[in-house]
Amino acid sequence: MPGEQAERTASVFIILDPAHGGADSGAHGNPEEEGAAVEKDLVLQIAQGMRRELERLGARVVLTRQADVAVSMDDRAALANAYSLDFFVTLHVGSTGTPNTAIAYSYGAPPGGAPPVMLPRPAAFTGVRWDEAQTAYLVASRRLAELLQVELAQKLPGSPDVPQFAEVRQLRVVARPAVAVELASVAEDNAQSLARTAVPLADALLRAIAAYRQSAGARP
């Protein structure tokens, strides 16, 4: 219902991060196929579609890039941490996997594995130090990933029920609940069809955020 939707999206501020860009193409489809899909293009299309849908539903959204341009990790971190945002979501498309499915990741190592490696920046670096920014949000990010994966399994049948851990740099540098979403797959015959997942992804994200806020007492 409209009233319920407005309540679900009220004051939600999300940064969407289409991975790669510029010379960094990410994963490629079949190299022997003319016009084969490229990850950097797919994630940008998906992010733009998600932004339109999220804004239609009342959320505020910023993209880390809006064209095929290179954006450094430090610039992505600066953008994410400059805002009083609620959530950060970085988007990827893998080279394998069941077509039109998705996995959510939170930052960290798998249970029983070694703890995440938090390497200091070189001494010569004079910018803001964000390499350990996610440390205070590991539990919150994991909770968001769990709730998001439940929604992904419903919206994109065949997706797993449980999210995974990964030491994704884009997540490590963000001082807010942050997750990565990886879609499958750039290698499928019609990878461009992944652009149509933007609407179900946006809805899954908002539903997960609503559940997260409810369980956290409406505090991101």
Q: What is the 3-state secondary structure (H, E, C) of the chain?
A: CHHHHHHHHCCCEEEEEECCECCECCCECCCCCCCCCEHHHHHHHHHHHHHHHHHHCCCEEEECCCCCCCCCHHHHHHHHHHCCCCEEEEEEECCCCCCCEEEEEEECCCCCCCCCCCCCCCCCCCCCCCCCHHHHHHHHHHHHHHHHHHHHHHHCCCCCCCCEEECCHHHHCCCCCEEEEEEECCCCCCHHHHHHHHHHHHHHHHHHHHHHHHHCCCCC
Q: What is the pTM of this model?
A: 0.88
Altogether, the residues listed in the chain come to a count of 220
- Find out whether 93 and 182 touch, Cβ atoms under 8 Å: yes
- Find out whether 158 and 101 touch, Cβ atoms under 8 Å: yes
Instruction: Using alpha carbons, select from 181, 82, 74, 88 the residue that is nearest to residue 134.
Output: 88
> Looking at residue 132, what is its pLDDT?
84
List, in order of start, the domains of the chain with CATH numbers.
2-215 (3.40.630.40)
> Looking at residue 9, what is its pLDDT?
56
> Looking at residue 128, what is its pLDDT?
46
> pLDDT for 148-183, tens place per residue?
999 999 999 999 999 999 999 899 999 999 999 999
- Sign of the dihedral defined by the CA atoms of residues 153, 159, 164, 170, in that order: negative
Instruction: Using alpha carbons, select from 93, 113, 98, 101 the residue that is nearest to residue 167.
Output: 113
Question: Which two tokens mark 66?
Answer: 């809006």
Residues in the chain with pLDDT < 70? 1-10, 31-34, 111-129, 218-220
Query: Distance between CA 149 and CA 208 in Å, rounded?
Result: 8
> Looking at residue 7, what is its pLDDT?
54
